[in-house]
């Protein structure tokens, strides 16, 4: 009978699929690669289900045994009938003295909660072809998206950015970023995760970091939160980072500098904190444009000299422009999604 899944639930019901994710045997891998290429409209369910099964694994190279995997799978299928009730049941079990026995059920409950609605992971319409199995995820100005990658790693993609990744990471965990994003990279059997851009690349095993590749937002950067990363320029210059280190890239000179970073300025966007620190007005306008989904209109002869510093938390566009006006003596008028700037 032809396999025609309507959701990730149908993949979890498919024992062959679950066992393949756990063991990744060559012949089965070829089958599932071919299947997802032929069924691009089902890729969303495929990746969700694969991420769920991958979440059960031990750290390191050890695989979970098939018997325990079968037990977890049965509990997951039960949970779909009444997710909140069953999740609570699994979490209660995880707190008793048999924690080791049930910790994989607890992990499953968390992943299931995310998939069923606790967090709205976003899967975008993608372009597939026989010759290049890449997925492209893009955001507009004023828009952010959460993306789950095939290996269970997650990405928060900032506005006016794009992320490209392979439909299956068996050929390598590689993504390409244009713009800005925050990565939570999952460790996977010592396999490297690579983020490339037009100017530099980042190699990690399992870590979390913020990365900007867009020169219109200022200098490029990689700011490390957890783990360890290697940042490499196209000219082969490189630097290793530890938590709270950052690599700053000057796009004009193509120079790399290591230093510390301001957490609100670099990481605050995930908490709706918009912080400017000694930034030119052109960069300020660009960041506001991306944040609020507007476009600034001004005459090129307008005097935009000087640097701007300010912090806004969950502020409306009007409030941000008012603060900017006080500091710069510029005047702003909003018409639809356009902001006109005059002196």
CATH number of the CATH domain containing 150 = 2.60.120.1440
Q: pLDDT at position 76, please?
A: 65
Last residue of a domain, one of 265, 280, 312: 265
In a domain, 3, yes or no: no
Q: pLDDT at position 89, please?
A: 43
In a domain, 146, yes or no: yes
Q: Which residues of the chain register pLDDT less than 50?
A: 57-62, 82-107, 110-132
Residue span of the structural domain in which 286 resides:
272-342
Q: pLDDT at position 134, please?
A: 78
Q: Is 212 exposed, middle or buried (0-12, 13-18, 19+ CB in 10 A)?
A: buried
Q: What's the distance, CA 252 to chain centroid?
A: 27
> Are residues 280 and 300 both part of a single domain?
yes
In a domain, 126, yes or no: no
> Are residues 241 and 321 both part of a single domain?
no
Closest C-alpha to 240, from 232, 230, 250, 249: 230
Q: pLDDT at position 11, please?
A: 83
> Are residues 198 and 86 both part of a single domain?
no
| pTM attached to this predicted model | 0.61
């Amino acid at each position: 009978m032809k396999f025609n899944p309507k959701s990730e639930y149908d993949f979890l019901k498919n024992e062959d699929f679950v066992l393949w994710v756990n063991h990744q045997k060559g012949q089965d891998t070829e089958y599932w690669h071919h299947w997802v290429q032929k069924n691009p409209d089902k890729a969303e369910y495929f990746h969700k289900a694969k991420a769920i099964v991958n979440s059960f694994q031990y750290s390191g190279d050890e695989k979970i045994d098939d018997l325990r995997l079968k037990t977890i799978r049965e509990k997951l299928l039960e949970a779909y009938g009444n997710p909140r009730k069953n999740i609570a049941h699994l979490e209660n079990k995880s707190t008793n003295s048999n924690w080791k026995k049930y910790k994989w059920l607890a992990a499953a409950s968390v992943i299931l909660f995310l998939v069923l609605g606790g967090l709205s992971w976003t899967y975008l319409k993608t372009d597939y072809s026989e010759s290049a199995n890449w997925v492209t995820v893009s955001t507009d100005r004023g828009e952010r998206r959460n993306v789950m990658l095939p290996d269970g790693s997650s990405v928060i993609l900032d506005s006016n950015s794009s992320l490209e990744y392979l439909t299956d990471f068996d050929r390598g965990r590689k993504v390409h970023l244009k713009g800005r994003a925050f990565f939570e990279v999952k460790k996977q059997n010592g396999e490297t995760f690579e983020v490339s851009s037009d100017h530099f690349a980042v190699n990690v095993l399992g870590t979390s970091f913020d990365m900007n590749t867009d020169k219109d937002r200022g200098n490029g950067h990689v700011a490390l939160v957890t783990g360890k990363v290697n940042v490499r320029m196209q000219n082969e210059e490189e630097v290793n980072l530890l938590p709270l280190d950052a690599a700053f890239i000057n796009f004009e000179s193509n120079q790399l500098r290591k230093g510390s970073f301001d957490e609100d300025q670099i990481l605050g966007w995930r908490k709706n904190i918009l912080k400017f620190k000694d930034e030119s007005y052109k960069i300020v306008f660009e960041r506001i444009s991306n944040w609020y989904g507007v476009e600034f209109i001004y005459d090129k002869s307008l005097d935009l000299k000087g640097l701007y510093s300010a912090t806004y938390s969950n502020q409306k566009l009007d409030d941000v422009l008012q603060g900017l006006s006080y500091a710069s003596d510029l005047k702003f008028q909003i018409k639809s999604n356009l902001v006109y700037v005059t002196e």
